[in-house]
Structure 1
Amino acid sequence: MVAHNISQLRGAAIGLALALLTTTLVGSCTDDMHSPDLERADQLLPNRNEYADSNLHTQAQAKLVAGLYDSRLDLIYYDADRVTPRLYFTGGDAIVPLTANNNGWLQLRVVDFHTQFMPLYMSINMKLLLTDTPSDTIRLAGKDGSVHTSDHGKTIGLPLPESDDAEMEGFYIKSKGEIYAIIDLMLPVPMKIRWHGKKQTPTP
């Protein structure tokens, strides 16, 4: 009886020792597979608030410019350097909304701008930064805009081009409630849109 108990205790002790050894080995292997940078990820990873949600101190200008714009959009073909206009393709009218963000930037969104003579629908989405000037204007500048084109399934073959690098330069005239801007679509074909918009309800 005593020998049996001793045998059981010895078996339990060996089992416990094996379990501890296994746990130690697994823990060591796991630690070796983890990067030490995980312990300081908060220092290494970018803080999204610093570049996406920072206060730009342009809230007053954004509210002044925000609104719906009766717009004329003209599609222009440029030279290879995207500097000199070569051909004025077509144009169309659209209502273009500009939405103010709490951080002081504007969101430009053109949805399904349909050109007159080309079976092309285009959507543009862009964040606009503002710079007030001493005169009657507010400068508008946008980058990293997204452009999607479509002909609603009529094209056979290669898909129509898209871009996530569209840029815009322009200005808003406070006294008239009007916007003048050039939007570079940054598509493989050097196309730009000339935008003239008049605010539907001018800011008092």
Structure 2
Amino acid sequence: MDLAWFVDGLDDTFITFLKKTPDALKSYEEMIKTLKGVELNALNGQGIPADLLEQFDKFEAEQFALSFTLGEVKKYIAMKCPEIKEEDNAGVRVQEIVIGYINRALKGGSRGSKEDDNSDASLSGASKMEYLSSRGKIEKAKADNAEIATYQLQLKELDRQAYQKLIFAWQNLVFHRASVYTQIKLNREKIDNPRRKEYGMSL
């Protein structure tokens, strides 16, 4: 079955990822700067902070977009894998490593290399649904037990931690996108042509 149409579409996504990543990383850093500028000590827990849900929406939209794009980049690399042979597999190993970086971004944990025991958080890390669920439970408990002052403190702390989680979540996006981008840029030739021509390729 001819998969030319499939490969062409992946090629466009792959090139777009490389072109857009430098500007994307700058925008991620701007988001972190904005969130770090929030005066957390001023939060009182009286209501959901005005911009917090919007910040969740921005992160989750970018999280989804990047996860989808990395999935397409992973498919692109997989389609470049040559016929399995015993010789000249250095390029194939590079492909495996880059796919490992992508897997780490999408799922967390190690990059898929036996030599690497490091563990990293995935692209997730901040969830509006989890925040709203937690806040709703505390608000209900507070309404049922108005005399207990600690519920108000819990709401204040929940809001404070929500901003902090968003900062860490954006940092994870920076780390994973930059990691994948760097590995691709440094090894582009081996990814596109993993085996020397004298050994031939099967695409």
Relative to the length of structure 1, the TM-score reads: 0.23
Decide which structure has greater strand share.
1
Q: Which has the higher helix share?
A: 2
* TM-score, normalised via structure 2 length: 0.23
Structure of higher RCO (CA pairs closer than 8 Å, 6+ residues apart): 2
